Chains A and B, each alone.
Chain A
Amino acid sequence: MFYLKLAFQNIRKSFSNFSPFLLATTSMFAITLILSNLAFSKSLDQLRGADTVRTLMKFGLAIIVLFSVIIVSYSYRFLLKQRTREFGLYNILGLNKRNIATISFWELLMTFVMTLVAGTILGLIFSEFLFLIFVHLIGGNYFNLTVSIPAVLLTILVFAAIFALLMFFAMVTIKRNSAISLLKDNTRSEREPRGRLIMSILSILMLAVAYYLALSVQGPIEALLKFFIAVVLVIIGTYLLYIGVTIFVLKRQKANKSYYYKPEHFITTSSMLYRMKTNAVGLANITILVTMTFVTLATSVALYVGVQKVVAEQFPKNTNISISGKNIDENKAALNTFIQENDVDTSKAAPYSSFTVMTNFSVNADKQAALPANSPKLNDYAALRFVTRDDMVKLGNDLPELASNQAILIKHLVIRMSNQWIGLVKN
Chain B
Amino acid sequence: MFLEVNHLEKSFQTRFSKEKTQALRDVNFIAEEGEFIAIMGESGSGKTTLLNILATLEKPSSGEVVLEGKKISTIKEQQLAEFRRDHLGFVFQDFNLLDTLSVRDNIFLPLVLGRYKYGEMAKRLKALAPKLNIEDLLNKQPFELSGGQKQRVAVARALITNPKLILADEPTAALDSKNSDGLLELFEQINNEGQTILMVTHSSLAASHASRVLFIKDGQIFHQLYRAGKSNNEFNRDITTAITSLLGGE
> Which A residues contact B (CB, under 8 angstroms)?
2, 6, 10, 13-14, 17, 85-86, 89-99, 178-180, 182-184, 186, 191
Contacts and interface: CB of A to CB of B under 8 A. Distances in A.
Contacts of B109: 89, 93
Interface residues of B, number: 31
28 contacts: A2-B115, A6-B112, A13-B100, A85-B96, A86-B98, A86-B100, A89-B96, A89-B109, A90-B113, A92-B55, A92-B81, A92-B84, A92-B90, A93-B85, A93-B109, A94-B85, A94-B86, A94-B110, A94-B114, A95-B113, A97-B77, A179-B57, A180-B52, A182-B92, A183-B48, A183-B52, A183-B169, A184-B48
Nearest to A88: B96
A93 B16 CA distance: 31
Contacts of B100: 10, 13-14, 17, 86
B96 A99 contact: no
Interface in B21-79: 48, 51-52, 55, 57-58, 77-79
B57 A178 contact: yes
A186 B170 CA distance: 14
Nearest to A90: B113
Contacts of B112: 6
B94 interface: yes
B57 A93 contact: no
Given A10-B100, A94-B86, 18 more contacts: A13-B100, A14-B100, A86-B100, A91-B81, A92-B55, A92-B57, A92-B81, A92-B84, A93-B90, A94-B84, A96-B81, A179-B57, A180-B57, A180-B58, A182-B92, A183-B52, A183-B57, A183-B169
Nearest to B57: A180
Contacts of A85: 96
Contacts of B243: none
Nearest to B102: A13
B143 to A, nearest CB: 12
Contacts of B94: 186
A119 B218 CA distance: 59
For the complex of A and B, 5 pairs with smallest distance between CB atoms: A94-B85, A96-B81, A14-B100, A13-B100, A94-B113
B3 interface: no
Contacts of A86: 98, 100
B16 A191 contact: yes
Contacts of A17: 100
B98 A89 contact: yes
A17 B77 CA distance: 30
Given A13-B100, A89-B96, A186-B94, A96 B77 contact: yes
Contacts of B81: 91-92, 94-97, 99
Interface of B: 16, 48, 51-52, 55, 57-58, 77-82, 84-86, 90, 92, 94, 96, 98, 100-101, 109-110, 112-115, 157, 169
A37 B49 CA distance: 58
A93 B110 contact: yes
A296 to B, nearest CB: 39
Contact of A93 (B48, B79, B113): B113
Nearest to A182: B96
Given A94-B81, A96-B81, A183 B92 contact: yes
A411 to B, nearest CB: 64
Contact of B82 (A14, A96, A184, A186): A96
A182 B48 CA distance: 12
Contacts of A13: 100-101
Contacts of A99: 81
Contacts of A186: 94
B124 to A, nearest CB: 15
B111 to A, nearest CB: 9
Contacts of A6: 112
Contact of B84 (A2, A14, A93, A180): A93
A90 B90 CA distance: 12
Nearest to B78: A96
Contacts of B82: 94, 96
Contacts of B90: 92-93
B55 A183 contact: yes
A96 B81 CA distance: 5
A13 B112 CA distance: 15
A188 to B, nearest CB: 13
A183 B55 CA distance: 10
Nearest to A93: B110
A90 B92 CA distance: 14
Contacts of A180: 52, 57-58
A94 B78 CA distance: 11
B169 to A, nearest CB: 6
